[in-house]
Amino acid sequence: MIFTVLKSIKVLNPKTYFNDISDVVICNDKIFSICKDFKTDVLQQDRQINIYDCNGLTMSPGIVDMRVNIGKTENLTAIQKIAAENGITSMVILPNQTPKLNNPSIIDHIKRQSENPNLTKVNIYGAATKDDQGLEMSEIGLMSEMGAIGFTNGNKSIKNSLVMRRLMSYAAMINRPIIQHAEDEDLSGLNKASTSLINGEMNEGEISTRLGLIGIPSCAEVIIVERDIRLAKLTGASYHVAHISTRDSINVIREAKKIGLKVTCDTAPPYFALNETSLLSYNTAFKLSPPLRKEDDRLAVIEGIQDGTIDAIASDHRARSKDTKAQPFSAASVGASGIETLFLMTLELVHKKIIDLNKAISLLTINPANVLKMKKPSLEKDELADFIIFDENCPDVINQNNLKTSPTPFDRRKIKGKILGTFINGQVAYMNQILKDKIIK
Amino acid sequence: MNKLKKIMNESFFSSPVKLSSNHLLAIEGMKKSEIQKLIERADYFANLDRHTNTKVLQGYVVLNVFFENSTRTRVSFELAARRLGAEVINISLINSSIKKGESLLDTASTLNAMRPDLLIVRHPHSGAPLLFTDYLNCSIINAGDGRHEHPTQALLDALTIKRRVGYLEGLKISICGDIANSRVARSNIHLLTTMGAEVRCVAPSTLMPSNLENLGVKCFSNMKIGITDADVVMLLRLQNERMTGTENPSEREYFKFFGLDEAKLSLANPNAVIMHPGPMNRGVEIASALADDTNRSLIKTQVEMGVAVRMSIIEALNHTKKK
């Protein structure tokens, strides 16, 4: 029996609205006790007890990151480790890797391969269609049995309306959500079949005009969201829009929620922390999909977070090699790293007094779990001990040179907060020296 | 007397320009005074007898690196550099290293290792010359990048107008055609608005970039209105290689609504001049006869002024670096 005792830690548990300073005791993989003034002498007879003085620190359920791309050159185990270091205890990976995660055996394989009690847990979205054109439904029932928790075409929109209708209908039958990257690819110029000359590179507007880059109109997002909501209504499906970025789409989702449709959405830190003006020096770290939008859209994302229209915040991690980013903007790859900044940038919303800490933690933990119909993480007696310990006020600066994935769109940003420890299944998956030094016994 | 005054001007008042940057990447952000000085200096070079010794840049190495096809711009830069006495090496990278898979930055580092003094670069991607500045130690001139800017073209256009009309401030200048795909248009818009001209942009709505009016211009989709009373009509080439077939139904329809012909030109100022950065699509953006009308068309003067303007810029960058 191994006991870990966290003395006088602020426990934040959004599921039960619990928010108080307590002593938390972990035994093996479960939470043994959360109480005031735990007497450690009751445990004396046991072999190993680690007691930490956590005064001034906060504890919350571990982060559920609902959107992580594993790139061609990335190693899943390495990403699991980095995720754990950054407070993510559970992450969902996208199917658009090589090979594509589009059949039950590969889902099973990845599940087994990623199983490691000390690393971030891996969940998988299965590919909604077998092929890249998005025309044939994958074996989503079988994949679901192997543990796929939702279905999506990753960074491509499910374009064909009939295919989408069938997918939604079938997914509703097996009670799994459909996750959509909402972008009209003809309009954004990403559909290679219709044109190879106009490749949307950034948000359309004054900045794209000044830079001479090809614009993607912001309505390319809402066009797909609006269609899909009508299909969700028709089929009764759970429909989730990933990395939402425009005011119009958020408005449409707000209305859909009002009439009781099972429609949800998430966003990612770039969309509430940055806008298209970041691109003025052609910095390819800001070449994202969806593209960074206008300031008004950024404000709408914040409003959506505040009023609950936006259910969750995901990292939308899509790390890219330096070689593919050190290119002229048009030739550079799309995407940026995210798992190392997800928690810090969400905490920034708290420091800017946009939301409170409880809300921020909800957006990163129980809300994504809820959207994906996963068990809601909770800090209660006998619950699985997947949690993080952090200092919410520790000042720091995000520095690309200190990060393990690149490029970050938040290089040199001053932030407050630091993950000090991540526990997965009651075991230390990551512990910062600051926390290690707080051990009493 | 006039001749004496001219010589006085040349010898006493014209000297190399110092710029605030080691590079010429874009007109946007340039100061009015800098533009003015570059044009004045270019005017001085344009007035010189072609055989005057201007070889002040002996031993200066210029790499003329073109990632995109070009005849007039490449030759114009080469002539300008040679007249200043510089050594010019032309490198066409349209088919070579890029196809071999070498990254642009490896190409840049390779070129840098040859220690040039100046790199003149044309690239199909907007912003590429700016990226080069991170990897090369020499000065860089943007000879056209994607749809972004073509600063030397705007400067030579300004010199051409100034020599014909005498001034830029307050002139009504209509830039007509494929604005969306045009780097020439963007550079001209920035330069002419900085110099106080009234700039109008005329294009079919499918070729008008969004929020263009935020750059300080007036936008028109009716050419007849857009060029009414104009002092200068600048035409742009329809860049078919950058189009998808959804911008424009046909060339003949384009010519009907946006091609410059006698009837439309009659609405402009009676003394209005016609400009085109070339190469022209005769019968598409301009009626052939108008292109050849030496009284109104400044198209050939533009080419001639190109050399003088580029001399002024190359000299200025050398002068700036010395400082």
Q: In this predicted model, what pLDDT tens digit does every residue of A292-332 receive, in sequence order?
A: 999 999 999 999 999 999 999 999 999 999 989 999 999 89
Same domain? For A127 and A47 the reply is no
pLDDT (average), residues A16-39? 93
Which pLDDT score, from 0 to 100, does residue B105 have?
A: 84
Give residue A269's pLDDT: 98
Distance of residue B125 Cα from the nearest chain A Cα, in angstroms: 6
Q: How far is A293 from chain B (nearest CA, A)?
A: 14
Q: Are residues B156 and B286 in the same domain?
A: yes
Give me the mean pLDDT over the B205-215 stretch.
Answer: 96
Q: Do A256 and A352 belong to one domain?
A: yes
Write down how long chain B is.
Answer: 323
Q: Which pLDDT band, with edges at 50, 70 and 90, does B103 fall under?
A: confident
Q: Do A198 and B209 touch (CB under 8 A)?
A: no
pLDDT score for A17: 94
- Per-residue pLDDT for B21 more than 50? yes
Count of the separate structural domains present in chain B: 2
Same-domain status, A192 and A304:
yes
The whole-number pLDDT of residue B96 equals: 56
Distance between B130 CA and the closest CA of chain A, angstroms: 8
Q: Is A280 on the interface with B (CB under 8 A)?
A: no
Residues A45 and A141 in one domain: no
Residues of B in contact with A194 (CB under 8 A): 244
Query: Domain with A131 in it: what CATH number?
Result: 3.20.20.140
Helix (H, G, I), strand (E, B) or coil at A32: strand
pLDDT of residue B240: 76
Nearest residue, CB atoms, A330 vs list B103, B146, B149: B146
A51, A77: one domain: no
Relative orientation angle of helices B72-83 and B151-165, to the nearest 10 degrees: 80
Count: domains in chain A: 2
- The pLDDT confidence band at residue B6, using thresholds 50, 70 and 90, is low
Which chain B residues are Cβ-neighbours of A200 within 8 angstroms?
none
User: So what's the pLDDT on residue B19?
Assistant: 94
Q: Is residue A25 part of a domain?
A: yes
Say whether both A191 and A98 belong to one domain: yes
Interface of A with B in 168-207 (CB under 8 A): 194-195, 197-198, 204-206
Give me the residue label for tokens 């009764």.
A236
Task: Name the pLDDT band for A219 (thresholds 50, 70, 90).
Answer: very high
Residues A69, A318: contact at Cβ < 8 Å?
yes
User: Using CA atoms, how far apart are residues B249 and A36, in angstroms rounded to an integer?
Assistant: 77
Residues 6+ apart with CB under 8 A from A424: A62, A84, A89, A117, A118, A119, A120, A121, A386
Q: Is the pLDDT of residue B3 over 70?
A: no
Q: Which residue matches tokens 């200096």?
A: B41
Same domain, B207 and B264: yes
pLDDT of amino acid B177: 96
- Region A267-280 average pLDDT: 98
Residues of B in contact with A330 (CB under 8 A): 124-127, 146
Residues B116 and B13 occupy one common structural domain? yes
Least confident interval from A91-100, A146-155, A279-288, B237-246: B237-246
Interchain CB contact of A428 with B (< 8 Å)? no
Q: Are residues B20 and B59 located together in one domain of the fold?
A: yes
Which one-letter amino acid corresponds to residue B265? L
Please report residues of B whose CB lies closer than 8 A to that of A280: none
Residue of A nearest to B147 (CA): A212
Quick check: is A409 in a domain?
Answer: no
**What residues have CB less than 8 Å from A59, skipping those under 6 apart?**
A6, A9, A10, A11, A12, A24, A379, A387, A388, A389, A390
Are A212 and B146 in contact (CB < 8 Å)? yes
Residues B231 and B266 in one domain: yes
Q: Residue B63: is its pLDDT beyond 90?
A: yes
- In chain B, at which residue ranges do the beta strands (DSSP E only) sit? 61-66, 87-92, 118-123, 139-145, 172-176, 198-202, 218-220, 232-235, 273-275
Judge if B6 and B130 occupy the same domain: yes
In chain A, % of residues over pLDDT 90: 88
Pick the more confident residue, B312 or B238: B312
Same structural domain, A166 and A200 = yes
A316 lies in the same domain as A253? yes
Q: How far apart are the first and last CA of chain A?
A: 16
Contact A195 B128 (CB under 8 A): no
- Terminal C-alpha separation, chain B: 36
Same domain, B179 and B128: no
Q: Do B147 and A328 touch (CB under 8 A)?
A: no
User: Bigger pLDDT: B49 or B244?
Assistant: B49
CATH of the domain at B79: 3.40.50.1370
Cβ pair B104:A328 closer than 8 A = yes
* Closest approach of B44 to chain A, Cα-based (Å): 32
Q: Kindly report which listed range (A12-26, A178-192, A408-422, B251-265) carries the lowest average pLDDT score.
A: A178-192
Cα A168 off chain centre by: 22
Same domain, B233 and B214: yes
Q: B215 and A215: CB-CB below 8 Å? A: no
Q: Do A197 and B186 touch (CB under 8 A)?
A: no
Q: Same domain, yes or no, for A185 and A307? A: yes
The mean pLDDT of chain A is: 94
Local confidence band at A128 (pLDDT 50, 70, 90 cut-offs): very high
| CB-CB neighbors (< 8 A) of A209 in chain B | 186, 209-212, 214-215
CA distance B146 to chain A (A): 7
Q: Which residues of B touch A205 (CB under 8 A)?
A: 210-211
* Domain assignment present for A407: no
Please check whether residues B98 and B207 belong to one and the same domain: no
Nearest to B210 among A194, A205, A281 (CB): A205
- Bridge partners of A48, per DSSP, are A2
Closest CA to B297 of B168, B164, B158, B195: B164
Q: Is the pLDDT of residue B12 over 60?
A: no
Nearest to A208 by CA among B206, B132, B212, B238: B212
Q: Of B23, B125, B188, B205, which to mutate for an interface test with A (greatest number of A Cβ within 10 Å)?
A: B125
Domain check: are B155 and B208 in the same one?
Answer: yes
For residue B43, is pLDDT > 90?
A: yes
- Shared-domain flag, residues B201 and B129: no
pLDDT tens string B231-263: 999 999 988 777 777 888 899 999 999 999 999
Range of the domain at A19: 2-59+382-394+416-436
pLDDT at A249: 98
Name the residue facing A328 among B125, B242, B243 (closest C-beta): B125
ipTM of the complex: 0.91
**Cα B320 from Cα B127, distance rounded (Å):** 23
Domain housing B284: 151-302
> Which positions of A are catalytic?
316
From A152's Cα to the closest Cα of chain B, the distance in A is 30
What is the structure's pLDDT at A133? Answer: 79
Residue in B with minimal Cα distance to A195: B244
Task: Tell me what pLDDT residue A194 has.
Answer: 47
Contacts of B136 in chain A (CB under 8 A): none
- Residues of chain A neighbouring B131 (CB-CB closer than 8 A): 282, 326-328
**What does the pLDDT read at residue B99?**
56
pLDDT at B101: 60
DSSP designation for B94: S
pLDDT digits (tens, 9 = 90+) for B141-194: 999 999 999 999 999 999 999 999 999 999 999 999 999 999 999 999 999 999
Instruction: Identify whether A170 is part of a domain.
Output: yes
Instruction: Say whether both B156 and B297 belong to one domain.
Output: yes
**Are A47 and A87 members of one domain?**
no
Average pLDDT of the segment spanning A406-435: 96
Residue B265 has pLDDT above 70, yes or no: yes
Domain at A27, CATH number: 2.30.40.10
> Do A319 and A340 reside in the same domain of the chain?
yes
Model pLDDT, residue B14: 79
Residue A376 lies in a domain: no
A103 and A29, same structural domain?
no
